């Protein structure tokens, strides 16, 4: 029953296609006309690897800021060779830990994009940050550069849990980071929290949720812990040092957060995400709406409306290929009608906007409505409730099958 909403980014979709020179040629030729209004930039650098992390990261004591910014500039020029500056609605620096670039590094990166694209006056510019990197001086420089949204990797307010996760910060640093963000001019702050920790880890999820609410963020993202094989956590599980949280506790913690955050005025607008009115993550919402977006940096994914592509994961290889004038493409996939139907169903069910159903689809959804797992909302869209989101995968598969036969 568990819905694995953990750490998979929306842009990390199907990776089944093999690298093919002919396909790459088609992708590159199409891209000349591809001018996306949403841009994701992967900044891979981290101070250390967390126990659960299987992202494309590069642990560095000294971050090669200038080398990285030059490589992003090369990739941007390679992918979008036209000198035309095009309008962009959202710019998102994710990771990894973008805040590891420092105040000046983030400024250089934003300026790189300002030279190539036209950020709309109300553009959302987000940086992911760890609390230990958020100083008042850094925030002021980020804000001056154009950053107006901060996604803070809090994960927990329990210091023992943070040490177990191999996080660098403690709970006091989270509070200080929020203070610095607001004093420096960034009011739109999202907090990340992880739930469903292994059974051996003593932690009060209710205390963590309540601590987050006390800080009055504008947005909260919740991630159920998933255990990936090639991580310290995966190895601990295989050696039976830890055991994954039971389905019942996963559901209990997810539903507690749903109730507590909605009671505090948050809208549960996507499986993992809660926002105050007017504070939904516009960049992430573009993924769930199926809009095209660019993806730059090692391991970054991208969608041009017809083709998905992804870069090589390793920072060294990504930088080496760009220095040689090559496209660091690792693979691509052209979506067929079946893929599109499956994604439309899955993405529609993930959000509070829901999915319009007809005929046999409504019949299939009726037991979910009867059980309180879904309801017919605005514009006759079927919308899942929080208990229904925990069972999303089953319904999505059934509705996709129905649509494939119609």
At 328 the pLDDT is 98
At 33 the pLDDT is 65
C-alpha 221/C-alpha 399 separation (Å) is: 27
CA 138: distance to chain centroid? 23
Sorted by sequence, the CB contacts under 8 Å of residue 283 that are 6+ apart come out as: 38, 40, 90, 91, 92, 124, 126, 293
At 234 the pLDDT is 87
Q: Provide block-wise average pLDDT over 10 residues at a time, the chain (406 residues).
A: 38 32 37 82 95 89 96 96 92 96 97 96 97 97 98 97 95 98 98 95 96 98 92 89 92 98 98 98 95 97 95 97 98 92 93 92 94 89 96 93 85
The CATH architecture of the domain made up of 21-288 is Alpha-Beta Horseshoe (3.80)
Q: Are 162 and 153 in contact (CB under 8 A)?
A: no
Burial class of residue 216, CB neighbours in 10 A (0-12, 13-18, 19+): exposed
Sorted by sequence, the CB contacts under 8 Å of residue 86 that are 6+ apart come out as: 35, 37, 117, 118
Residue-wise burial string across 374-383, b where 16 or more C-beta atoms lie within 10 A, e elsewhere:
beeeeeebbb
For 11, 308, 312, 347, 382, the CA distances from 300, given in Å and listed in that order, are: 8, 11, 8, 20, 32
Q: Are 298 and 328 in contact (CB under 8 A)?
A: yes
Count Cα atoms within 13 angstroms, Cβ side, for 345: 23
At 30 the pLDDT is 40
At 17 the pLDDT is 31
Would you call 117 helix, strand, or coil by DSSP?
strand
Element (H, E) at 92: strand 86-95
At 5 the pLDDT is 42
Which sign, positive or negative, has the C-alpha torsion 259, 216, 144, 300? Answer: negative
Q: Which is nearest to 58 in space by CA: 105, 92, 101?
A: 101
At 151 the pLDDT is 98
Which sign, positive or negative, has the C-alpha torsion 339, 340, 343, 349? Answer: negative
At 378 the pLDDT is 76
Domain boundaries, the chain: 21-288, 336-406
C-alpha 225/C-alpha 216 separation (Å) is: 24
At 26 the pLDDT is 37
């Amino acid at each position: 029953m568990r819905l694995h909403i953990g750490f998979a980014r929306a842009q990390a979709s199907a990776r089944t296609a093999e690298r093919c020179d002919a396909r790459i040629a088609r992708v590159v030729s199409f891209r000349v006309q591809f001018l996306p209004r949403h841009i994701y930039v992967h900044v891979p650098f981290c101070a250390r690897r967390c126990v659960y992390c299987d992202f494309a990261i590069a642990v560095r004591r000294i971050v090669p800021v200038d080398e990285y910014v030059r490589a992003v500039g090369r990739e941007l020029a390679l992918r979008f060779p036209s000198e035309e500056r095009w309008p962009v609605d959202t710019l998102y620096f994710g990771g990894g830990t973008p805040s590891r670039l420092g105040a000046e590094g983030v400024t250089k990166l934003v300026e790189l994009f300002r030279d190539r694209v036209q950020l709309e006056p109300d553009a959302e510019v987000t940086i992911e940050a760890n609390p230990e990197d958020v100083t008042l001086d850094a925030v002021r420089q980020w804000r001056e550069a154009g950053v107006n949204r901060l996604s803070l990797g809090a994960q927990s307010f329990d210091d023992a849990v943070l040490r177990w996760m191999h996080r660098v910060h403690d709970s006091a640093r989270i509070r200080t980071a929020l203070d610095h963000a607001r004093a420096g001019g960034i009011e739109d702050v999202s907090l990340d929290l992880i739930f469903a920790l292994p059974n051996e880890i003593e932690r009060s999820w209710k205390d963590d949720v309540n601590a987050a609410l006390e800080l009055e963020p504008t947005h909260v993202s919740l991630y159920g812990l998933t255990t990936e094989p090639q991580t310290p956590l995966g190895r601990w599980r295989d050696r039976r040092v830890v055991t994954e949280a039971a389905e019942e506790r996963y559901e209990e913690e997810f539903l507690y957060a749903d109730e507590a955050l909605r009671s505090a005025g948050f809208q549960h607008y996507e499986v993992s995400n809660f926002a105050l009115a007017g504070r939904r993550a516009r960049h992430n919402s573009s993924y769930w709406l199926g809009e095209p977006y660019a993806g730059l940096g090692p391991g970054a994914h991208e969608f041009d409306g017809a083709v998905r592509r992804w870069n090589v994961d390793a920072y060294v290889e990504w930088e080496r290929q760009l220095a040689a004038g090559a496209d660091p493409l690792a693979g691509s996939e052209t979506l067929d009608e079946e893929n599109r139907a499956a994604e439309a169903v899955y993405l529609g069910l993930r959000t509070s906007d829901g999915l319009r159903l007809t005929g046999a689809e409504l019949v299939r959804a009726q037991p979910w409505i009867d059980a309180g797992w879904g309801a017919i909302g605005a514009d006759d869209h079927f919308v899942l409730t929080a208990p229904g989101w925990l069972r999303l995968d089953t319904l999505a598969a059934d509705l996709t099958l129905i649509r494939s036969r119609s």
